[in-house]
């Protein structure tokens, strides 16, 4: 399997992402944001975390204008699998590939810690190796992770099983670290080929580092 990983000025999780997928047996390639094409053999395209363009204006707001994003939209429109992690999630919402927006955290603080997530829907390639209501422990590290969508949009997300993950405690009860609507931590598009989440599964690959719960999450993409 081939995983292509986008790199913008300010991206800082591309090598963590590369290491995670290579440990799972995938081949990887890092794609600079000025590229106008996505490698033809790409099975999964990852928009990695970090601070693209220093998060100026708004997180992901400048990155959406990078040349590579035209290719990303075309790739997704043809059914290509796209995963946005943290800043990657922000970029995908800014580019209109996922609904909603990511705002400044409710208490205006940068948050960096492990946090539990509850699986809401697993009828998708990303979470198919987990069960509904499973609880995983995954690192979060963000300043603008407060997911927002209006009430009509929220109803549509639930109607289409697009809400994938919620912030929770170890028992699966809602525990919201940043003010996200309905404690939402991850979503997908209607077609279930574009995915976004604020937590970092690529940082939860080894128990010795605090958790290996990210393994089953990323394994879903490996066919």
Per-residue model confidence as pLDDT tens digits over 31-61:
999 999 999 999 999 999 999 998 888 899 9
For residue 140 the two structure tokens come to 């979060």
**Structural domains of the chain, count:** 1
The position carrying tokens 């890092």 is 30
> Looking at residue 98, which CATH number applies to its domain?
3.40.50.880
Q: What is the pTM of this model?
A: 0.96
C-alpha torsion angle, residues 50, 54, 58, 63 (rounded to 10) = -70
Measured CA to CA, the distance from residue 53 to residue 203 in angstroms comes to 22
Enclosing domain of residue 13:
2-219
Catalytic residue numbers? 86, 200, 202
User: Among 164, 223, 214, 165, which Cα is nearest to 19's?
Assistant: 214
53 vs 22 pLDDT, higher one: 22
Average the pLDDT over 100-106 and give the result.
97
In this structure, the strands spanning 135-142 and 81-85 are: unpaired
**Burial of 26 (C-beta count, 10 Å sphere; 0-12/13-18/19+):** middle
């Amino acid at each position: 399997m081939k995983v292509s990983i986008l790199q913008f000025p300010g991206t800082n999780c591309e090598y963590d992402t590369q290491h995670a997928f290579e440990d799972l047996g995938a081949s990887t390639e890092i794609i600079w944001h000025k590229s106008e094409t996505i490698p033809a053999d790409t099975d999964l395209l990852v928009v990695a975390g970090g601070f693209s363009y220093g998060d100026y204006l708004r997180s992901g707001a400048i990155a959406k204008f990078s040349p590579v994003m035209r290719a990303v939209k075309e790739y997704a429109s043809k059914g290509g699998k796209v995963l946005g992690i943290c800043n990657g999630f922000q970029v995908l919402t800014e580019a209109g590939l996922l609904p909603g927006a990511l705002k400044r955290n409710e208490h205006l603080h940068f948050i960096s810690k492990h946090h539990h997530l509850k699986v809401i829907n697993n009828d998708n390639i990303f979470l198919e190796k987990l069960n509904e209501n499973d609880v995983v422990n995954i690192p979060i590290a963000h300043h603008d992770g407060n997911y927002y969508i209006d009430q009509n949009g929220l109803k549509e997300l639930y109607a289409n099983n697009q809400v994938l993950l919620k912030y929770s405690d170890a028992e699966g009860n809602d525990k919201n670290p940043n003010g996200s609507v309905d404690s939402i931590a991850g979503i997908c598009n209607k077609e279930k080929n574009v995915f976004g989440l604020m937590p970092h599964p690529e940082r939860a690959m080894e128990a010795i580092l605090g958790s290996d719960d990210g393994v089953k999450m990323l394994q879903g993409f490996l066919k």
